[in-house]
Chain A
Amino acid sequence: NAGVTQTPKFQVLKTGQSMTLQCAQDMNHNSMYWYRQDPGMGLRLIYYSASEGTTDKGEVPNGYNVSRLNKREFSLRLESAAPSQTSVYFCASGGDLSPIYGYTFGSGTRLTVV
């Protein structure tokens, strides 16, 4: 099925460890986004990539880095994980019709930092 695929689905890290969250879309979308969702909160934008080769900070970029590897893939890296980064992370993508039909979200990565 076409859509946004995130890996892994679950991860537990120790404080200070690093990891990369992977995201891939097969809809030929230009833009991709990383959000985090904390309990009782809506999603907050971490980083986004409006097109292949470009990335920009969102609302809460501190502690994260991103790479737009190609048009399909957009990864999020935590260099030194902190308990405050415990959250559910969602990747999303958007194409030319997204201003009409909305954006497509992955199923999320649930990250716990202990």
Chain B
Amino acid sequence: SQQGEEDPQALSIQEGENATMNCSYKTSINNLQWYRQNSGRGLVHLILIRSNEREKHSGRLRVTLDTSKKSSSLLITASRAADTASYFCATDRGSTLGRLYFGRGTQLTVWP
């Protein structure tokens, strides 16, 4: 079963706008990760936030984590056409074995 559920399923914005994607999960976690997948390609790791962290930044990415609500958000600021991709959240369900459980993803389209 899917651990994470991303919301929205699809998002379409103009270049320069901010994109916000949300993820909810059901179990306790050690960390939550966000990955990007360009069409027809593999997944690329974007950012990881630990369960004891509330916010993390990396370049134009900002991730928040609310463990009480079992939810996370990924904000991409000043979006570019090159940001067009599917974005997935993944959790470890509290395991330390490296197994990841993915949501269905958000398809982001950034128009020039």
A-side residues, CB < 8 A to B, are: 4, 31, 33, 35, 40-45, 48, 50, 56, 58-59, 90, 92, 94, 98-108
* B102/A101 in contact, CB under 8 A: no
Docked Cα-Cα span, A45 to B101, in Å, equals: 7
Interface size band for B: 20 to 34
Which residues of B in the span 10-46 have a Cβ within 8 Å of any Cβ on A?
Answer: 30-31, 33, 35, 40-46
* B2/A41 in contact, CB under 8 A: yes
Chain B residues with Cβ under 8 A from A107's Cβ? 41-42
CB < 8 Å neighbour of B48 from A43, A56, A100? A100
Docked Cα-Cα span, A100 to B21, in Å, equals: 22
B-side residues, CB < 8 A to A, are: 1-2, 4, 30-31, 33, 35, 40-48, 88, 90, 96-105
Q: A43-B102, A102-B48 are in contact. Are A108 and B30 (CB under 8 A)?
A: no
* B88/A48 in contact, CB under 8 A: no
